[in-house]
Each structure stands twice: as C-alpha cells, then as structure tokens.
Chain A
Amino acid sequence: MSSVLLLDLKIVLHSLVSEPVFIIPLISFLFHIEITNEILIIIIIYQILSAVSLQMGKYVPPEFSTGAVVSFILFVFNSTCLSSSILMGLFASLLMIPVFEVKIRLNKILGKRFRYSLAVLISIFISIAIYIFVFLVFILLSNVLWGGLTQNNNLVIFSLLTLPFFYAVRLKSGNEPLYFILGVTFGGMLTWINLFYF
C-alpha cells in the first residue's frame, strides 16, 4: 500500500499524499498503530528534509518520503531501534536517486516502444515493483547490519554516517530572519499556552 501511495511523489497526481506527514499517519491509522514520540520524530525529520528538497527540471533529489516509509516500517514492524531506522531511511532516500535515474531512462524506451496508455501502465507497475523491492531490501539489510550490534554501536555509526549526509544536502539559506523569529516567538507562545493552560 505504501508503494502505491508513493507513486504520487513523482509518477502520478502530485497531490502531496505521499509526503511523510500524510503517509505515515495514514498507514498508522490503517494498521491501528499508535503514533508515539519516536514516530513523530521520524515524521518531522523526513518532512523537513522532504519539504526543502525540490525536483526542479532535470535535477533528481533524494526521495525522503520513501526514506520515511522505510524508517517507519523498520521501526514499527521490524523492531529496529529509532536511530538505525532513521539511518536506513536516509540510505533508502539516497538510493532512490540512481534508481529513479534508471527509471527515467527506461521511461524513454517505454514511450518509444509501446502505445501511450500501455507504456504508462507498465511504468506504474515498474515503479510499484521498485518501491516494494526497496522496502524488502532494507528490511533484510537492517536485520543483517544491525542484528549483532549493541545500541551504542548503532548510534556511533549513525552519527558518523548521517552528519556528512546532512552537510551534502543542498538547503537554501533563509533570507527572511525576521519572519523566522516571528514564527519562533509565535510557536513559543503556543507551546507556553499549551503547557500551562491545557
């Protein structure tokens, strides 16, 4: 089901349903999973990354929505610890860059060889298969990689591997600090009201 929802990201519709803030609560609702603080952290991290990574023209960004789903699946269904789940999700997001590059090369061949409607159908099925394959690979990898490690080792590896990743992500500089400060003030007020009055 996640792989079908993820089609919204780059293949059809573009309605934002595939974004972490919508897809994870939706899956949680369907599988009766309670949204804990850990799941919230997964949602927030991937959502911020996904919101700032833009597919413009020929540039293919990492698929952070796929990463969020991988992290969520690993954390909830595979009982992987939070840090390892997030790390695997980040790798999944990066893996989707070359995978999508291959897919769009394949699209060109499909467009030339088949009728339009048939080519679209094949393209959709291939995309679903790719997502399912990625999920399965990461579930298997997670068991192999993290199985023998202690919690501390997991976190050390996590810290070493994620920091360069975040430096490499191209994030635009905020050129409106005043509005950011206003937002921080307003958020602080909301938190304060929420804490002391409810």
Chain B
Amino acid sequence: MDKFVLLLKSVLLQALFAKDDMQRSGFRSMTKGAFDEYINTNPFFITVLAGIIKSNPRFIQKVRFIGPISAMLGDDLFWNLLKPVTLYSSLILFLLFRNWILIIPLIMYNIVTFLLRYKGYDYGISKAGQIKNLYNEWYFKKVQKSLHKAKVFLFGILSVFLAFLLIHYLQKHILYAIIISLILTLTLILKSRAIFIIGIILTLISLAKL
C-alpha cells in the first residue's frame, strides 16, 4: 500500500515544482517530512530516493549526493533518448497506418517508466548502501548507446516521410522536390537538424504560390 501511495505521489511530484527548491515540496510529502531541502532529480527516479530515506532516515547526505546524478542520468535517458524514440516511432507508425497502432510505443514507454517508479522504492531500500553505483548499472549503460542510434535512425525515416508528404501536399511540383533534396543534403553535410526544420517552414511558405 505504501508503495502504491508513493507511486501516486511520484506522479504528482512536479505539480509544485519551484525554481529555487525544485521538487522539494513533492519529495517532502513522499518522505513524510524526513527530507525538507532543495532537491533536483528526474521524476522517474524519485521513488529510488524515497527508498534510500526509508531505509535509513540518516541517509540525507546520500540523497544530496545521488539527486543531481539521478537527474543527469534520468534527463538523458528519458527526456533526451527514450522520449524522442517513442515519439518518432509513434509518428512513423501513424503516418504508415493512420490508426491506433501508434499507441504501442506509448504503452511500452509507460510500462518502463511506471515499473521504474514502482520498483524504484525497493531498489532504493536494498541498494541504499551502494547507491553511488547507480550510474554504473548495466541497463543504463547498454540502453543509452543503442537508444541514441535508434533515435537518429528513426529521425532519418521520418525525414523521408515528411519530404514525401510535403511533395504530395504541394501537388508533386518538381521545384519542391529540389528544395527538399537540397535541404536534406545540407542537413547531412552540416550535421544539423535545424536546417531541415527551416526547410519545412520554407516549403510551407511556398504554399503561397499555389
């Protein structure tokens, strides 16, 4: 029951997010007042930190130490990698099938994050002594590299679909095909996605001619 209540509280963690104290109010409620100071972490790792406090209320120094590390790890893993991979996959599935199959990546993402939130409490309690090794856990190391490759790969697929959609929308005019090819080439040469997105806007602007 405790774990379930913590899970619910972790869902509401960011509701009182403040610039000076970050997630202080939410975490204070999760630890029943045992930790009441500035804390910066990723919302998906908050139950791990709550578990550390639960295992020994004197482990405040450990939480101060692991908070920013879990923030860096979680932000990179979830916001920078898993989120774009989920969103690109869903978008590609939606463009291909135009039905509710797009929710499959969303469900998988939520299973992973909710499992982490639910199991994180036990992990925090059992590994409170060696919590500094959190960053070295094999699943974080292995998953990070492959997710990065998957992200770039999926973005490549998405670019083709987008180029095709735009050409189709712009009545298959050859000029637009040339513009899009130029933009894709520049994207590859300059290794920047900004050019690509600017290209989308330029192409939209050219709608004026139609």
Contact = CB atoms under 8 A, between A and B. Distances in A.
Contacts of A41: 165-166, 169, 204
A180 to B, nearest CB: 4
B18 A184 contact: no
A177 B191 CA distance: 7
A190 B164 CA distance: 11
Contacts of B19: 58, 101, 104-105, 108
Contact of B201 (A51, A124, A159, A185): A159
Contacts of A133: none
B155 interface: yes
B143 interface: no
A62 B168 CA distance: 30
Given A55-B79, A155-B208, A177-B188, A183 B198 contact: no
A99 interface: no
A148 interface: no
Contact of A111 (B24, B148, B164, B201): B24
A181 interface: yes
B94 A123 contact: no
Contacts, number: 215
A169 B87 CA distance: 19
Contacts of B158: 44, 48, 183, 187
Given A21-B94, A191-B161, A111 B169 contact: no
Contact of B113 (A14, A111, A177, A194): A14
A171 B160 contact: no
A57 B22 CA distance: 8
B192 interface: yes
B40 interface: yes
A182 interface: yes
B80 interface: yes
A151 B94 CA distance: 30
A110 B17 CA distance: 10
A107 interface: yes
Contact of A52 (B11, B84, B162, B205): B84
A83 B66 CA distance: 46
B208 A180 contact: no
B207 A155 contact: yes
Contacts of B28: 116
A62 to B, nearest CB: 13
Interface string A154-182: 01101100110011010111111101111
B15 A11 contact: yes
A12 B11 contact: yes
Contacts of B64: none
B25 A116 contact: yes
A76 interface: no
Given A16-B83, A25-B94, A50-B87, A44 B162 contact: yes
Given A22-B90, A35-B98, A182-B153, A174 B192 contact: yes
Contacts of B113: 14-15
A108 to B, nearest CB: 4
Interface of B: 11-12, 14-22, 24-25, 28-29, 40, 43-44, 71, 75, 79-80, 83-84, 86-88, 90-91, 94-96, 98, 102-103, 106, 109-110, 113, 148-149, 152-162, 164-166, 168-169, 184, 187-188, 191-194, 197-198, 200-202, 204-205, 207-208
Interface of A: 10-17, 19, 21-22, 25, 35, 37-38, 40-41, 43-45, 47-52, 54-58, 82-83, 86, 101, 104-105, 107-108, 110-111, 116, 119-120, 123-124, 151-152, 155-156, 158-159, 162-163, 166-167, 169, 171-177, 179-188, 190-191, 194
